[in-house]
Homo-oligomer: A and B are copies of this chain.
Amino acid sequence: MRLAIDVMGGDQGPRAIVAGSARAVVENPGLELILFGPRQQILAELSRLPQPLAAAASRLVVCDAPDSIMPSATAAWALRKGRSSSMAHMLRSVARGEADAGVSAGNTAALVALARRELGMIKGISRPAISTAIPARAGRRCYLLDLGANVDSPASRLVDFALMGAAMAQCVDSTAVPRVALLNVGSEATKGSASVREADRLLREYANDDAFTYEGYAEGGDLFKGQLDVVVCDGFVGNAVLKASEGLTSMLVERVQMAFESRLSGRLASLLAKPVLKRLKRELDPVRYNGASLLGLRGIVVKSHGSTHADGFYYAIQRALKEVEHNLPARIAGRWQASSCENDGAY
C-alpha cells in the first residue's frame, strides 16, 4: 500500500508530519509513503528521526515540491496559484493512481477545492463534505457531517451527506445498518429551516432502504448519547458545533485539573488526575487525534488537524488506510447509484 503525504501546512511545521509518517511505516510493514514538500527540509527532518523510526526511512520516499499553500490562502487563490504546491502534487499522485490515498494537515478550504479539481467528484455528488467521528456515550461514536466544506446546504445536499455518512459508518466502523438523523432545533416536524424540513421529507422516502434507518430530527445534545451513528447538518452548523466542542473540552479538562490541584497536593494530583485527564482529552478531541475525511471525491483524502502533533498525523494516516482497505469511494458511489435509481428524479 502506498499513500501520498503533504508535508507542509501543519502549524508545527514539517517535523510533526515527518515523525507521524515515520511511525506509520514502522507500524504498517507493507506501507510506503511519498512525502511531498521541499526536499532539503524533509531530508533534514528525516535525518533527525530517532533510531526506531529512522529504520523505516527507506519506505519514506521524498518527492520535491518546494511551494506550499499558506493557512490564510483562499480556495480561489489555491485554484489559481496552487498548482505547484505540495498539496496539489500530493492530490495529483492520488488522482493518477500512484498513491491509494492522500493526507494533509494544510488549509482546509484549499484542500477541498484542489481535491475536487484534481480527483473529481463521484457521479451525482456536487461537492465534497467533511466528516469526523465524535466520541459518544458507551464507547460509541457518531459521524458528524458536513464540518465546513459547504455553507447554506440545500435539502438535496443534506440527503447526499446522509448517504455518504451512512457509507462511512458501514465501511469504517462496520455498522450494519447505521442510524442516521438530521440536526434540527427541536424534534417537532414544524421546526427548523425550509431546507432541513425538505431534507426530512426526502429522507423519509428512503425509509424502506436497507442501507440505513432514518431516525428523524436530532438536537445538538443527541450527538453524544450513543444512539445515532450519523448526524447530518449544514457545514456552518457542523463547524460551529465541532469547534465549540473542542474549545469546551479543552476548557473543561483544564478546570477539572485546576479543581483537583487546589484540593490535593501537587504530587497526588499529578499521580491521580493527570493521566485520566490526558487520556480523556485525547479521546474527546476527534479531529486533532483522528483527522477528518473528505467524502464524495473519486479518491481518498484525509485532513489532519492543522495543530496536530506527530501522533495525530499518525492517526490520520491510519484512518486513510482503513478507508483504502474498505474502498470507501466505491462504497459511496454504489450507494449513490442505488439511491438515485430507487428515487429516480426525486431530487
Contact = CB atoms under 8 A, between A and B. Distances in A.
Interface residues of A, number: 59
Contact of A221 (B137, B151, B192, B244): B244
A236 B272 contact: no
A190 B110 CA distance: 13
Given A220-B247, A240-B237, A109 B186 contact: yes
A235 B236 CA distance: 12
A239 B192 CA distance: 11
Contact of A240 (B74, B233, B250, B280): B233
Q: Interface majority SS on A: helix, strand, loop or mixed? A: helix
A152 interface: yes
Contacts of A222: 247
A248 interface: yes
Indicate how many identical chains form the complex.
2
Nearest to A273: B260
B248 A224 contact: yes
27 contacts: A76-B190, A137-B251, A137-B254, A152-B193, A183-B240, A185-B240, A219-B239, A219-B240, A220-B243, A220-B244, A220-B246, A221-B250, A223-B248, A224-B244, A225-B247, A236-B237, A237-B237, A237-B240, A240-B240, A245-B245, A252-B252, A255-B280, A256-B277, A256-B280, A260-B273, A260-B276, A263-B272
Interface of A: 72, 74, 76, 109, 136-137, 148, 151-152, 183-186, 188, 190-194, 196, 219-225, 233, 235-237, 239-252, 254-256, 259-260, 263-264, 272-273, 276-277, 279-280, 284
